[in-house]
Amino acid sequence: MRIRLSHLAFSALATLITVNAAQADEVQVAVAANFTAPIQAIAKDFEKDTGHKLVAAYGATGQFYAQIKNGAPFEVFLAADDSTPAKLEQEKETVAGSRFTYAIGTLALWSAKPGYVDAKGEVLKKNEYKHLSIANPKAAPYGLAATQVLDKLKLTEATKAKIVEGQNITQAFQFVSTGNAELGFVALSQIYKDGKVSEGSAWIVPAELHDPIRQDAVILNKGKDNPAAKALVDYLKGPKAAAVIKSYGYEL
């Protein structure tokens, strides 16, 4: 009798696994480069909690816009601004009503050298550095924010010849981390974990020095019939994802 019951239990378990596997889907996500670390952490919990798999590509928001317009297979878009998803929405490229703000980003002036950047960012005004790294302001919202800060501080002309421009915020960060630029404007999330700057030295740029970096997510038309796309958007609005997002220095 015991063997028979075990066999029945095994059959039921196998059926349950088969049903769950059938219900699991994969979602293709275009992720703004500044959100790389948070989404990688969120993806693990998302897969464990829902069974769905998140497949991410990372890059500049402007570049993703061009790729989406050219038919790229993305189903969900996590942008670094709110204007690009809004534009895609107006152009009927998104699922109606799916757009929302998943994070508000923070800009930081950062150096890989401890003590190089002071808490008020005066190092920027002293102008003793040779290279200042920023992301491409035409494609990356954090790069645009960096130019707004320089303009607000009346440093645009003084820093013009020193700018080293990355294609996206990841490349801007790499220029600084490898020592090719003494300092640069990066996303706080790239250098921040659990309430503190994890390496080097930084000035967290006051929000009033640039336009708000509202980061919106949206389900694209290609994800309209994919349950995993809807599940991811819902998950990003939940408490587990919110805790991860906050831990990287974002506001909600």
Show me where the domains of the chain are located: 2-104+213-247, 107-204
Query: Same topology for domains 2-104+213-247 and 107-204, yes or no?
Result: yes
In which band, very low, low, confident or very high, does the pLDDT at 193 lie, cut at 50, 70 and 90? confident
pLDDT at 23: 60
* CATH number assigned to the domain covering 2-104+213-247: 3.40.190.10
107-204: CATH architecture: 3-Layer(aba) Sandwich (3.40)
pLDDT tens, position by position, 111-141: 999 999 999 999 999 999 999 999 999 989 9
- Whether the pLDDT of residue 18 is over 90: the answer is no
Q: Is 68 left (phi over 0), alpha (psi -120 to 50) or beta?
A: alpha
**Residue 169 known to bind ligand:** yes
What does the alpha-carbon distance between residue 76 and residue 56 come to, in Å, rounded to a whole number?
10
Of the CA atoms within 13 Å of residue 188, those in its CB half-sphere come to 25
**pTM, to two decimals:** 0.83
What is the per-residue pLDDT across 41-82, written as a single tens digit (0 to 9) for each?
A: 999 999 999 999 999 999 999 999 999 999 999 999 999 999
d(CA 144, CA 244): 25
Residue 61 annotated in ligand binding:
yes
* CA–CA gap between residue 76 and residue 49 (Å, rounded): 19
